[in-house]
Structure 1
Amino acid sequence: MHDDGLVFSYLIDGDGKGSRFDWAEVATWNPGDGLLWVHLNRDSEDSRHWLREQSGLDPLVVDALLAEDTRPRCAQMGGGVMLFLRGVNLNPGANPEDMVSIRVWLEESRIITVRIRRLLSVHDLRTAIEQGHGPTSTGDFVVQLAQRLVSRMAGVIGDIDDEVDALQDRVLVEESRQLRAQLNDLRREIIALRRYVAPQRDALAQLTVMRTSWFEDRDLLRLREEADRVTRYVEDLDAARERAAVTQEELGNKLSEQLNSRMYVLSVVAAVFLPLGFLTGLFGINVGGIPLADNPRGFVDILIVLLLITGLQVLLFRWRRWF
């Protein structure tokens, strides 16, 4: 096989360091050699072949690792744990809410991860191993991966809170329909993030209650902390979604008031000119007997009558408090 499907692989020692492995070394590895981490590209035929024919995994596990779309979840199968997580998409030109999946199969002496797109948290973990301060065990690997995934969520969710605050302030001073489109986009972004963040909280929480020999109590405690952080982020997203909805409702009310005010002014203008238009239309008919037709002051007298009618209408509207 070629190395295009193997993104990288490391044999991890107990001190946080690792030795780089290729396909040949992965094929000859055995549990007595130490903890092996194999990171694969899902779209590669080499990766698919190795998972199905040489990994020794249950076909159900392989199908799950190679599935087209996944949601964060955790399940214990035989002597291993299947863990699917998501990280915010911080790749250039990507939308953060388009979260990137990482599929993980955990055993005491072997870790298999499968990706579709590049995930910066996995790259950070690889860098930590090369620098000598990476994970020392399977439990520590899960903790460090979860910490990096959750930490990157903080910046994106913080930006969403700031954007909601900015839009709330703008609604107070602006009455722009463009704000409505921005609020709609923001709400869609929040919903897209929450779609994966909430199940990730449940997956991490479920992992903490699994009893496996290779998860130490310290690892479970750190995982509970990360699950609590994700819970706070879910609550922050819920609060931001509610604030955005309230802001959008307030903007809608202001735009409705603005429209009603303009319609009211147009209605008043139409009411003022309705009798004037009737009179001018009546005096403009081409038949005999029109009053003041032969009077030199007829035009002035008609203007005076029209002004008197307008003044009486204005007084009537003010008395009725119509404006």
Structure 2
Amino acid sequence: MLILAVLRLDRDLLESAVPSFCVGCIFRFLWLFAGRAMETPVTSKVSYGAEPGLRFALLLDGCGGCTQLDIARARRWKPEDGIIWLHFERDHVAAADWINRESGLDSFVTEALLEEETRPRVEPVADGLLIILRGVCATAPDEEPEQQTDIDLVPLHMWIDVNKVISLRDSGHYITALRDIRQALEKGKGPHRTGDLLALIGDKLVRDLEPVLDAMDEEVDELDEMIFHGEASEVRQRLKLLRRRSVQLRRYLAPQRDALNRIEHDDAPWLLERDKLRMREVIDKLMRFIEYLDAIRDRTGILHDDLSTVISERIARNSNRLAALAALLLPPSVVAGLFGMNVGGIPGVNDAWAFVIIVMFVTITSVATLWLLRRIGWL
């Protein structure tokens, strides 16, 4: 706007100050600069999520599709409208306020949904289920991937009944399982019922573990090769991190198996037999992953023993070399100490061949000591 204001100045005033042939150049430059400034778009960062604290609100149509809702339409929702799915950020003030004031849930359920540190579990309340599971934390699409040394299994808190699904996760966490289900619903290929949705969430959460375990198994093979080729110095830290990851995963996978098993045996009316059958398949898959993880943990234990053996052998070999070096230097040191004493009566003091004889003696004893050390395998 300042440039346009300058362009509105009296041209005669400008011509009186500068030569006339420069005036046209000045005005052309100002018009060009102003045009580029007006064409440059003003960008701003778009916040992800339907409302503050609300990641998304979906109304399932019962045929695999959905309709996105804002918070106002979500407040006007009635059970006869269909199945509603609300996904919140657990640590957001607005989400906590909605859960406490407008969700209509029991205080026991709301406290559990907003709890910070939780282990996987399932609690039946009336005709609904309070479910807390764990999923692999991924990198959001709008963020740069970071190299993680630890695997983070983040909590997913859920309340599910016949016509309502409320899920919560922390604002800094990103779970790809929910993203995949949401995309399937937007394409009309999603779940039809809450029981179907619950089984699909469990399946996706467990399926996300597979690439993690495959990567850990490949790293175990790589560390095994490095130990075999004598690269023990680079293995120690990586092996330590790998064992820590296996412990972290095992800490939550066993309770998650028990939680899914409890869902399978629950008698909620909205859980159909096919939902329980699919949950059984999810449990079997999780059991295989737990066994796979136990095998990885056992292999890391074996690698740790192999690494300790390699290091012990290296220390023993270096100690033998130092002992061999000391043994080689022992005869010359003894001879030098005896004939270097500043006392009377040392033989060969006045003999011209004494030094030659001593050197020959030291050489012979050193060669004999070297042969003996090689014979016993110290060198």
What range describes the TM-score normalised by the shorter chain of this pair?
A: over 0.9
Structure 2 counterpart SS, 1:220: helix
**Rg larger for:** 2
1:145 is aligned, of 201, 215, 228, to 201
- 1:283 corresponds to which residue? 339
- 1:107 corresponds to which residue? 161
- 2:105 corresponds to which residue? 57
CA 1:175–1:259 in structure 2 vs 1: closer, same or farther (change >3 Å)?
A: farther
| Alignment partner of 1:220 is 2:265 | no
Structure 2 counterpart SS, 1:9: strand
| 4+ long deviations beyond 3 Å | 311-323
User: Displacement, 1:312?
Assistant: 4.2
- AA aligned opposite 1:93: E
Contact 2:232 2:310 in 1 (8 A): no
- AA aligned opposite 2:103: S
- 1:93 corresponds to which residue? 146
Contact 1:175 1:254 in 2 (8 A): no
After TM superposition, the structure 1 = structure 2 runs for residues 1-323 of structure 1, keeping only pairs within 5 Å, are 3-91=51-139, 92-93=145-146, 95=148, 97-116=151-170, 117-314=173-370
Moved more, 140-149 or 208-217: 140-149
User: Displacement, 1:217?
Assistant: 0.5
The percent identity for this pair of structures is 36
Which structure 1 residue ranges, 5 or more long, are not aligned?
none
Normalising by the residue count of structure 2, what TM-score does the alignment of the two structures yield? Answer: 0.81
- AA aligned opposite 1:69: E
Structure 2 counterpart SS, 1:188: helix
Distance in 1 (alpha carbons) for counterparts of 2:52 and 2:104: 21
Structure 2 counterpart SS, 1:15: coil
User: Displacement, 1:155?
Assistant: 0.7
User: Displacement, 1:41?
Assistant: 1.0
**Aligned residue pairs: how many?**
322
Which structure 2 residue ranges, 5 or more long, are not aligned?
1-49, 140-144
CA 1:320–1:113 in structure 2 vs 1: closer, same or farther (change >3 Å)?
A: closer
- AA aligned opposite 1:132: G
Moved more, 195-204 or 241-250: 195-204
Moved more, 85-94 or 220-229: 85-94
User: Displacement, 1:236?
Assistant: 0.4
> Deviations 1:1-51 (Å, cap 9, x if unpaired)?
x92111110110110111111111111111111111111111221111111
Distance in 1 (alpha carbons) for counterparts of 2:210 and 2:331: 66
Structure 2 counterpart SS, 1:185: helix
Normalising by the residue count of structure 1, what TM-score does the alignment of the two structures yield? Answer: 0.94
User: Displacement, 1:69?
Assistant: 1.4
